[in-house]
Structure 1
Amino acid sequence: MAADTEAFVDGTADTAIAGVALLLTGGISLLGIITAEAYHPDYATTQEISDLGSTAPPDPVSYEPTATIFNSTMLISGALVLVAAYFLYRVGRSRVLWLPLGIFGFGVFGVGVFPGNMTPWHGLFALLTFTSGGIAAVLAARATPKPFSYMSVLFGGFSLASLLYALALGASGPLGGLEFGGIERWVVYPLLVWVTGLGGLLLGEDSMNEANYSSS
């Protein structure tokens, strides 16, 4: 009985840690981007998000403290997603949940390590982040209950569709008024909403498990 209790406590603790890490990811990412935008002397949301860290060559430009805020935000957010993926793996959750999530976290962390002036690495990690994030959200539908699974497909699918639009048409077509930075936000922000929602779901599961265990 003691062994069962210890296993239960360890499992719920792991789920709670993963949930907290993902909730923090959503909050830190959003606040970090907003803060970096506010400190940038000449920035518009029609610009690429990564311009907050540094613009691309041949004439890269970065401003402080904007660059430090943005790059640190990416490093912390990526690390938190990796922590969440690890604890979901440790607690025995489905591979379709933790593995794509871990790849997504690795991509976000890489964006922080390699700012926009470090080509081609920044572009590769940014593409990895966008692609793996959308796929992670869609695949999470197989490992999460309804109706959250429907929302995972919705947010992940919307993000991937926006990414395909950006790759195919760039800043042209019916969304041309958003320019590339605006379209990029259609890729990124749904993933931040999804990550935050997944964190809340995991914390809710943890609370329900504790309540059910206490009443048994």
Structure 2
Amino acid sequence: MDSERTRTLAGVALIAGGACTVLGFVTAEVLYPGYSAADQTISALGAEDAPGASQAVFNAAMILGGVLLVGVAAALHRLFDSRAFTGVTAVTGVGVAGVGVFPAHTGAPHFVAAFVAFGGIGVTALVAGSVLRAPFRYVSVALGGLELVAFVLFVALGDGTPLGIGGLERWVAYLGLLWVTAFGGFFLAAPAGEQPPA
């Protein structure tokens, strides 16, 4: 497969994964009467005490988003000479899918998967900043850094802010998803025949 087609497929997969995840969150919330975006975590949408429709939508969205990210890692392997970039992207994808495979009520497996997903997306964005050309490298580093700061605050403060545990968690999740979709746009916007690396 030539590099231009690989780049295009990676861009489409990133945008599709980001959109699928955001719409999965929104749809699952609508299907969960009484759900509080401030007082409940995002993962509560897929837990055993959530309505069946909410569980199905949320967990399926996470699994699909994770599988697409693992596929993107395979594309990155073809496009970049960076094992770190490929590896951290693949591990993050496994973590994202793991959130859906192991819903919140499973305990430790879910928390490990969520930690890998949240931490991994920020680290992936930072690593991307080391191999991508400007100006997107600066966008990548900024979004990755902000996502990791939000993640640390989420772990440290939990529900101890006016945003509540769910609101603060959304800062983490949506900063990561913003980077994912922006990265997809970066691939698709590259002129024909031009490689995305620096």
Q: Is the 8 A contact 1:96 1:142 kept in 2?
A: no
Q: Distance in 2 between matches of 1:131 and 1:87?
A: 21
2:103 aligned partner: 115
Q: How well do the aligned residues superpose, as a CA RMSD in angstroms? A: 1.4
Q: Is the 8 A contact 2:129 2:138 kept in 1?
A: yes
1:100 to 84, 88, 92: 88
Q: TM-score, normalised by structure 2?
A: 0.92
Q: Is the 8 A contact 1:96 1:143 kept in 2?
A: no
* Residue 90 (structure 1) shift: 2.5
- For structure 1, list consecutive stretches of 5 or more residues without a partner in the other structure: 1-8, 55-59, 211-216
Q: Is the 8 A contact 1:160 1:187 kept in 2?
A: yes
Q: Is the 8 A contact 2:4 2:192 kept in 1?
A: no
Q: How does 1:74-89 map to 2 (within 5 A)?
A: 74-89=62-77
1:24 matches 2:16 = yes
2:41 to 41, 48, 72: 48
Q: Distance in 1 between matches of 2:137 and 2:110?
A: 31
2:170 aligned partner: 185
Q: Where has structure 1 moved over 4 Å in runs of 4 or more?
A: none
Say how many residue pairs are matched: 193
Higher Rg of the two aligned structures? 1
Q: Could you say what secondary structure the match of 1:68 adopts? A: helix
Q: TM-score, normalised by structure 1?
A: 0.85
Q: Could you say what secondary structure the match of 1:65 adopts? A: helix
1:140 aligned partner: 128
- For structure 2, list consecutive stretches of 5 or more residues without a partner in the other structure: none
